[in-house]
Amino acid sequence: MMKILEAIYLISTTSEAQFPISTLPEVAFIGRSNVGKSSLLNSIVSRKNLARISSTPGKTQQINFFGIEQKWVFADLPGFGYAIISKEKRNE
Ligand SMILES: Nc1nc2c(ncn2[C@@H]2O[C@H](COP(=O)(O)OP(=O)(O)O)[C@@H](O)[C@H]2O)c(=O)[nH]1
Ligand SMILES: [Mg+2]
């Protein structure tokens, strides 16, 4: 497998206006809370804690964007499911 050499944190946001503007292919990591989305992202880029992982569901509450070798954008999404957070926050 190809080794990814550069992975940089771009922004965390829930506002579409702040999403990175790019024509690069974007990979979204989506799925239920706590299934290992962030761990998978870290594993792909060989970094332990680029995307924050947690044993508590619902820790990721924004979309976290990462630039990968100026070739791709990875988007780590909050899980849907059983996070204990306010309704307002969830709707965001
Ligand atoms: N046993 C096991 N645990 C994992 C695996 N991947 C992630 N985890 C654990 O599952 C929990 C949730 O992982 P995380 O990547 O934060 O999930 P996310 O909420 O989908 O982003 C953490 O405690 C991880 O250490 C795996 O492949 N096997
Ligand atoms: Mg996560």
**Residues 55-78 pLDDT 10s:** 877 766 789 999 999 999 999 998
In this structure, the number of other CB atoms found within 10 A of the CB of residue 50 comes to 19
Pocket residues: Cβ below 6 A from ligand 1 = 33-39, 53-55, 60, 79
pLDDT tops 60 at residue 84:
no
Number of compact structural domains in the chain: 1
pLDDT of residue 80: 72
- Residue 70 CA to ligand 2 center (angstroms) comes to 22
> Within a domain: residue 1?
no
Domain-located, residue 2:
no
What integer best gives the mean pLDDT of the chain? 87
Length of the chain: 92
**What domain range includes position 52?**
7-91
pTM of the model: 0.86
Any residues with CB less than 8 A from the CB of 56 and at least 6 apart, and which?
A: none
CATH number of the domain where residue 86 is located = 3.40.50.300
16 CA → ligand 1 middle, Å = 27
Evaluate whether residue 47 is within a structural domain.
yes
